[in-house]
Amino acid sequence: MKNLIRIFLLLTIVGGAVNLHTSCSDENDCSLAGRPMMYCTFKTINPDDKTIVLNDTLDSLTIKAIGTDSIILNNEKKVHTLMLPLRYTSDTTVFILQFDPKRKPENVDTLYIVQQNTPYFQSMECGYMMKQNIISARFGNKANSSETIDSIYLRNKEANTNEIENLQIFFKYRDRTPETTD
């Protein structure tokens, strides 16, 4: 009988501790991982057959955000996708893309994003979060740049955390076949 009471008491204490722990856990993701981003992929069009869209990879890329001192990407190699943060404090976000800043500082494009920022209440722990919808995207090329954006296609307007493609950025076709020496 004493053992039965001890077991019951032990189960009650352990059950109460587990219940208290789970009821006070934070279910919301208030970290930067929960922040919506604009997901971009790089593409090019095959010059021989204009109906074929090819995935593209940039050899080197640095991205800076205008209006901040932020460097989003610093001389990253072999880039084929991007996740870019949009500004909360403005309805426009401007990115400077440098394709090889050390060897070719003149290879620069500018990406202009106009977005709608809508604050919403997430929870008591997180407070207000921002829902962002992309209204338009355009680009500007620097003259005589060898790697430049050719066009942009907006696939999905809502910035997200699921890596759902927002923008397809098309670059001018560059022959990627390795040169052979005889």
Rounded to whole angstroms, the Cα distance separating 93 from 136 reads: 11
- In the chain, beta strands by DSSP E: 38-45, 53-55, 58-65, 71-79, 81-84, 92-100, 104-123, 127-141, 149-154, 167-171
Looking at residue 75, what is its pLDDT? 87
pLDDT score at 181? 45
Look at residue 126 in the predicted model and tell me its pLDDT: 80
List, in sequence order, every residue forming a beta bridge with 134; answer none if it has no partner.
Answer: 115
Q: Render each residue's pLDDT in the chain as its tens digit; 182 residues.
A: 777 777 777 777 877 766 665 555 445 557 656 788 999 999 998 888 888 888 998 888 999 999 888 899 998 899 999 999 999 889 999 999 988 777 777 788 899 999 999 988 888 888 888 899 999 999 988 666 556 888 999 999 999 988 899 999 998 877 655 444 44
Q: By C-alpha distance, which of 172, 118, 122 is closest to 148?
A: 172
DSSP 37: B
| N-terminal to C-terminal alpha carbon distance within the chain | 93
Closest C-alpha among 37, 96, 36 to residue 66: 96
DSSP 103: T
| Cβ-based neighbour number of residue 2 at 10 Å | 6
